[in-house]
Amino acid sequence: MFNKRIKVKELLQQAPEGQQVTVMGWVRTFRNNQFIALNDGSTNTNLQVVAELGKFEEGLLKRITTSASLKITGTVVPSVGKGQKLEIKATTIEILGDSDAEAYPLQPKKHSLEFLREKAHLRFRTNTFGSVFRIRHALAFAVHKFFNEKGFVYLHTPIITASDAEGAGEMFRVTTLPFENTPRNEDGSVNFKEDFFGKSTNLTVSGQLEGELGATAFGEIYTFGPTFRAENSNTARHLAEFWMIEPEMAFCDLEDNANLAEEFIKYIVRYVLENNREDVEFLAQRLAEEEKQLPQDKRSEMGLIEKLEFVLNNDFQRLSYTEAIDILKESNYNKKKKFQYPVTGWGMDLQSEHERYLVEKHFKKPVILMNYPASIKAFYMRLNEDGKTVAAMDILAPGIGEIVGGSQREERLEVLLEKMKAMHIPEEELSWYLDTRRFGTVPHAGFGLGFERMIQFVTGMGNIRDVIAFPRTPKSAEF
Ligand code: 4AD
Ligand code: MG
C-alpha cells in the first residue's frame, strides 16, 4: 500500500513521543541543507523535517527543491526551533517527483493575487489559496449539513434548459448547429428544430423554476450547482460561471423566507469559525496587512473575525425598498453628489454603490431589503396588496453588496398569467411551470445565495476570481 501516511494536520496535534511516521508532501522551503518545510495541503502549517548533516547524500539533498514531492519516514521529536512544538527527524527521504527550481513559477516569497491568478493552476500551493479553498469546501459541506438537518431534499436541477428563469436574457446558448450553412426557416430565422434538442437551449441562469416543482411536492428542497450568466460585467463580484444555492419552500411567505436566509447564513459562518479557525485566522492576518496599505478611510472598521462574529451576534437590519430610497435620498452622500448614479427616487433600481452605502455607511450590518417595485423585478415574484410592489428580498452584506436574491412567489394563476403577458413571456413555454399553480397551488418562497460572494464575505477576499478555482469572466476562460 502506497498511501500509508499521516497527514500533517493530524500529526501536529499529536505529542512528540519518538513515534515512527511516514509523511508525504511538497517542499515549501529547504534551509541550510538541513531543514525542510513540508506541506501536504491538510493545513497551512508546514511540517519541519530535519535532514541531519552528513546523513544524506549530496545528490539527494540537491533534489530537495521548492515544490518537489517527498516521501519521508522518521521519528517525531520535540522541536527546539521556534514556532513549532514538534518536528520529524528523517530516517529516509524519497523524492517522488523532482521540481526544477529555476522553472517553477512560484518562488518562496509573497506573490501578488494578480500574478497568482495567471498561475491559477498552481495557486492552490500557496498559503492564501490553501486557506481559501479549504474554507470553500467547509462552506459547501455546511450548506448540505444545514439543509439536511432541516429535512430539505437536495434537488439536481438541469444545467441545460430551454427557459430563462430570470427573464434577463443573459444566457449562453447551447447548440450543435453549424456556423456555416446554418439551417434557416423561410423567414430567415435559425431553425432550431434542427438543433440537438429540437429547440433553442441555453445554460441555466437559475434552478429556481425547476426548484418550485420540487418544493410543491417535497415541501422543501434546495439546489446547489453551477449557474451561468453572459452578463458583460467585469467587476470583482461577477462571474460568468458561479455556484448558487437555491432553497425553495412550500407553505412559506416572505418573512419566513427572510428568517430562513438569515439563519442559514449565520449557520454556515458559524460552522467555518468553529471548524476552520486556523485558516480564518490566517486570512484575517492577511487582510489586516493588506489594509495597512490603504488610506485610513478605506480601511474596514473591523477585522475579519470580528466582522464574522458581529454578523453572528446581531440581527440583520430589515427594511422596505421604499424606506431605503428615503434614506438614500436624504443622505449627505447623495446631497453632496458622491454617488455615481444619483438617487432619482422611487422606482429606480439600486446600484451596488447604493446598496453598499446602506450596509457599510448607514446601518453597518447586513441588511434585508424587501418589497421592491414590481417593474424592476422578475415575473414570478408575488404582487403585494398595494398593486405596485412585489414580495422580493435582497440581502446585502458589508464589503460585498447583494449576496442573496429571493422572493415569495406568485401562487395565484390569474395574477401570474397577467404578469407574464405584460412582460411578454409566452405562456406555452412555461406551461409545465404553471402546472404548479393549476394543481394544488400553495404560498411558497425561496432565495438564491451566490456561493462565491458568500466565500468572499467569509474569507475577506476582495476579488471573486480568487474564491473559485478557475474563474470564467468576459474574455477569460483559462485552464
Ligand atoms: O438575484 P439573483 O439573480 O436571483 C436568482 O437567480 C433567483 N432565481 C434566486 C431564487 O430566488 N431562487 O441571483 C442570486 C444571487 C445573487 O444575490 C448573487 O449573490 C449571485 O446569485 N449572483 C452572482 N454571483 C456571481 N456572479 C454573478 N454574475 C452573479 N449573479 C448573481
Ligand atoms: Mg438579484
Q: Distance, CA 448 to ligand 1 centroid (Å)?
A: 6
Q: Distance, CA 60 to ligand 1 centroid (Å)?
A: 53
d(CA 343, CA 351): 10
Residue 402 · residue 359 · CB < 8 Å: no
Comparing C-alpha atoms, which of 157, 155, 116, 196 is closest to residue 478?
Answer: 116
Whose alpha carbon is nearest atom 29 of ligand 1? Answer: 238
Which of 152, 451, 453, 454 maximizes ligand 1 atoms within 8 Å of its Cβ, making it the mutation to test the pocket?
A: 453
Answer whether residue 108 shows pLDDT above 90.
no
114 by Cβ neighbours in 10 Å (0-12 / 13-18 / 19+) ranks as: exposed
- Please state the atom number of ligand 1 nearest to the C-alpha of residue 247: 12
First and final CA of the chain: distance in angstroms?
32
Q: Which is the CATH superfamily of the domain at 125-170+205-466?
A: Bira Bifunctional Protein; Domain 2 (3.30.930.10)
Beta bridge partners of 183: none
**Environment of ion ligand 2 (residues, CB < 5 A):** 405
pLDDT in tens, 326-380: 999 999 999 999 999 999 999 999 998 999 999 999 999 999 999 999 999 999 9
What integer pLDDT is reported at residue 2 of this predicted model?
73
Mean pLDDT of 391-407: 96
Query: What percent of the chain shows pLDDT beyond 70?
Result: 100
Residue 289 · residue 297 · CB < 8 Å: no
Residue 199 · residue 173 · CB < 8 Å: no
Mean pLDDT of 444-468: 98
Q: Distance, CA 449 to ligand 2 centroid (Å)?
A: 9
Residue 330 · residue 358 · CB < 8 Å: no
- Please state the atom number of ligand 1 nearest to the C-alpha of residue 403: 19
d(CA 383, CA 371): 9
Confidence of residue 158 (pLDDT cuts 50, 70, 90): very high
Confidence of residue 168 (pLDDT cuts 50, 70, 90): confident
Answer whether residue 82 shows pLDDT above 90.
no
Q: Distance, CA 205 to ligand 1 centroid (Å)?
A: 8
Confidence of residue 381 (pLDDT cuts 50, 70, 90): very high
d(CA 309, CA 8): 29
Answer whether residue 169 shows pLDDT above 90.
no
Ligand nearest to the CA of 227: 1
CATH of domain 2-104: 2.40.50.140
Q: Distance, CA 200 to ligand 2 centroid (Å)?
A: 25
Confidence of residue 278 (pLDDT cuts 50, 70, 90): very high
What integer pLDDT is reported at residue 3 of this predicted model?
73
Mean pLDDT of 398-427: 95
Whose alpha carbon is nearest atom 22 of ligand 1? Answer: 450
What integer pLDDT is reported at residue 196 of this predicted model?
98
Which cell numbers hold the place of 22?
A: 511516514
Whose alpha carbon is nearest atom 20 of ligand 1? Answer: 450
Mean pLDDT of 157-165: 91
Query: What percent of the chain shows pLDDT beyond 90?
Result: 92
d(CA 194, CA 183): 7
Ligand nearest to the CA of 240: 1
Whose alpha carbon is nearest atom 25 of ligand 1? Answer: 238
Ligand nearest to the CA of 397: 1
Mean pLDDT of 56-61: 97
Mean pLDDT of 59-71: 97
Q: 192 φ, ψ to 5°? A: -70, -10
Q: Distance, CA 302 to ligand 1 centroid (Å)?
A: 27
What integer pLDDT is reported at residue 279 of this predicted model?
98
Say which amino acid occupies 270: R
Answer whether residue 300 shows pLDDT above 90.
no
Q: Ligand 1: residues whose CB is within 6 Å?
A: 165-166, 206, 208, 229, 231, 238-239, 242, 244, 246, 402-407, 446-448, 450, 452-453
Answer whether residue 187 shows pLDDT above 80.
yes
Mean pLDDT of 392-409: 96
Which of 208, 210, 242, 472 maximizes ligand 1 atoms within 8 Å of its Cβ, making it the mutation to test the pocket?
A: 242
Chain-wide mean pLDDT for the chain? 95
Which cell numbers hold the place of 224?
A: 446547489
Confidence of residue 167 (pLDDT cuts 50, 70, 90): confident
d(CA 52, CA 75): 12
Written as one string, the DSSP assignment of 103-166 is T-S--SS---HHHHHHTTTTGGGSHHHHHHHHHHHHHHHHHHHHHHHTT-EE----SEES--TT
Say which amino acid occupies 50: V
Domain boundaries, the chain: 2-104, 125-170+205-466
Residue 212 · residue 436 · CB < 8 Å: yes
91 by Cβ neighbours in 10 Å (0-12 / 13-18 / 19+) ranks as: middle
d(CA 400, CA 348): 21
Q: Distance, CA 64 to ligand 2 centroid (Å)?
A: 50
Q: 208 φ, ψ to 5°? A: -60, -45
What integer pLDDT is reported at residue 298 of this predicted model?
82
SS3 of residue 87 by DSSP: strand
